[in-house]
Amino acid sequence: MLYFDHAATTPLDSRVRTAMLEALDAGPGNPSATHGAGRAARERIEAARADVARLIGAPPSSIVFTSGATEADNLAILGVGRARPGAELVTLRTEHRAVLDACRRLEREGHRLTLLTPDRHGRIDPAAVGAALSAATTLVSVMLVNNETGVLQDIPAIAAQCRRHDTLLHVDAAQAAGRVPLDVAQLDADLVSLSAHKIHGPVGVGALYVRREPRPLLQPLMVGGGQEGGLRPGTLPVHQIVGMGAAFRLAHAAGAAEAAALACLRDRLWAALADLPGSHLNGHPTERAPHILNVSFEGVDGEALLAGLDGLIVASGAACGAESGEPSYVLRALGRDDALAQASLRFSLGRGQGAQDVDAAAVRVRAAVLRLRALAPS
């Protein structure tokens, strides 16, 4: 099996697993309790909080643990919107469903929603964001790295537009952490969503960065307990948070070297597919994350292509939308027709892969495309 679906979820790093087992073996202890076992659990959580904060250049006190980036997106968007009833929201048509669905929920609750369309490469002009803002706009939400195409947005320039209108900026950085440089001061974002399982951490834990000064007004999604500054009540899952801390610590230690290696593998894979007639790169040719490559193939049925890849694990669109069977709304927003959007593959790379994996994947994809075209020539 060749696993090329790291943008959906990554294998758990063995070092992260060890850290989680150590936390489990330490024995019970509610981190909200004041006894010794509780204080020990709290110390492990605070150490993990510091590790998460270090990777994004933030103070530990700005990190709020959640069940994942989806909850962090919802806390940011619904939390801001419900604290300011009737406000205006601005986002992109190519955002993750966790962002789009949260925005549409607020639209049903009486907020005004503006959806912007990026250019054919998936990038939005920051000036277009600025033109959509008004005195009533409360929140802009734009992801740093698109989960399907890997396209990078110019977040600092978008933040500058937001500052001119006194508008909050939320950034979904689930695909960015550990892949591209991520410093919240440089981004100038007010809220940033993070995930553990996208960078070889455990499923079921994430975080929301909340700017300390000035601190955005957020309404919590749940009540009861007062944990995480009252923004995310409930007993904290110590071993999962420890796992997230370990994953972010490892990503910080790896620095730019791991991302550079992934970029080389991504480019090697595209070079092996680009000369296949009717192959189209989806997304920006240069402004993109190192671990994602999205390609459409003319003249093949998408479902048949996926079924014929002989042990190669890839995606067609986002994992959260795979069950619908619909062509990717992200690719359609970039101007791809339904046939090309349906016949697209997202390759996403991760730790431990090498050139031999990329070469083997290219051989299988080329063989499947040529076989399907021979069976049903256009």
Active-site residues, by number, are 320
Chain centroid, CA 238 distance in Å: 23
**Pairing verdict, β 292-297 and 279-281:** antiparallel
d(CA 14, CA 31): 25
d(CA 136, CA 128): 17
Q: Which string of DSSP letters, residue by residue, matches 213-239?
A: TTPPP---SS-SS-TGGGTS-S---HH
d(CA 159, CA 166): 10
3-state secondary structure of 361: helix
Buried b (16+ CB within 10 A) or exposed e, 88-124: bbbbbebbbebbbebbbbbeeeebebbbbebeebbbb
3-state secondary structure of 28: coil
Output phi, psi for 280, to 5 deg. -130, 125
